[in-house]
Amino acid sequence: MSTDLSITITIVGLLLSVATFYIGRQTASKNDGKAAGALETDLKYVKESVGRIESKLDRDTQRLEGRIDEISRQMSEISSEASRAHESAKSAHNRIDEHLTREHGIERRGGTA
What is the reported pLDDT for 111? 53
Answer whether 84's CB lies under 8 Å from 61's CB.
no
What is the reported pLDDT for 22? 85
Rounded to 10 degrees, the C-alpha dihedral 8/14/20/23 comes to -100
Show Cβ contacts of residue 19 under 8 Å, excluding neighbours closer than 6 positions: none
Could you read off the pLDDT tens digit of each residue along the chain, which spans 113 residues?
A: 688 888 888 898 888 898 888 888 888 888 888 888 999 999 999 999 999 999 999 999 999 999 999 999 999 999 999 999 999 999 999 999 999 999 888 887 655 54
What is the reported pLDDT for 1? 67
Answer whether 85's CB lies under 8 Å from 78's CB.
no
What is the reported pLDDT for 76? 97
pTM beyond 0.75: the answer is no
Helix (H, G, I), strand (E, B), or coil: what is residue 52? Answer: helix
What is the reported pLDDT for 2? 80
Show Cβ contacts of residue 90 under 8 Å, excluding neighbours closer than 6 positions: 112, 113
